Amino acid sequence: MAGNLTAVTDADFGQEVEQHQGLAVVDFWATWCGPCRMIAPILEQLSVEYDGKVKVCKLDVDTNTMTSMRFNVRSIPTLLFFKGGKVVDQVIGAVPKAALESKFKQHTA
């Protein structure tokens, strides 16, 4: 993974995301998904800008179906925001950087 992004799987999702202290953002994506590729560079930028404040993770829905089903992810890209192991917000679809950045600010304030 580029920048400060962490690849997560069904096997390590609990440890990497749900047990993380602070804000963790998980990008549910797939290699064939055009909108996923559109937001990937934005997430890389935000992972650098919010280094130390937000843990940004990527989960490939094609190879990690258990976690995708558990959180009822039906469309990709879906970003889930976790605090204290619980989902506190979500963004579905490709959105502009300003929209994602405002969510990051909202949950790190």
pTM of the model: 0.95
Split into its structural domains, the chain has a count of: 1
Q: Which of 5, 8, 17, 33 is catalytic?
A: 33
Q: Which of 8, 36, 54, 59 is catalytic?
A: 36
33 catalytic? Reply is: yes
Q: CA–CA separation, 85 vs 46, rounded Å?
A: 21
13-48 pLDDT, tens digit per residue, is 999 999 999 999 999 999 999 999 999 999 999 999
Q: What's at 96, amino acid-wise?
A: P
Decide if pLDDT at 2 tops 60. Answer: no
Q: Please tell me the predicted confidence (pLDDT) of residue 109.
A: 85
Q: Please tell me the predicted confidence (pLDDT) of residue 4.
A: 82
| Torsion from C-alpha of 84, 109, 98, 79, nearest 10 degrees | 0
CATH code of the domain in which 96 resides: 3.40.30.10
Q: Please tell me the predicted confidence (pLDDT) of residue 78.
A: 98
Take residue 91 and report the two structure tokens written for it: 């963004």
Residue 94 belongs to domain spanning: 5-108
76-93 pLDDT, tens digit per residue, is 999 999 999 999 999 999
Residue with tokens 């799987």: 9
SS3 59: strand
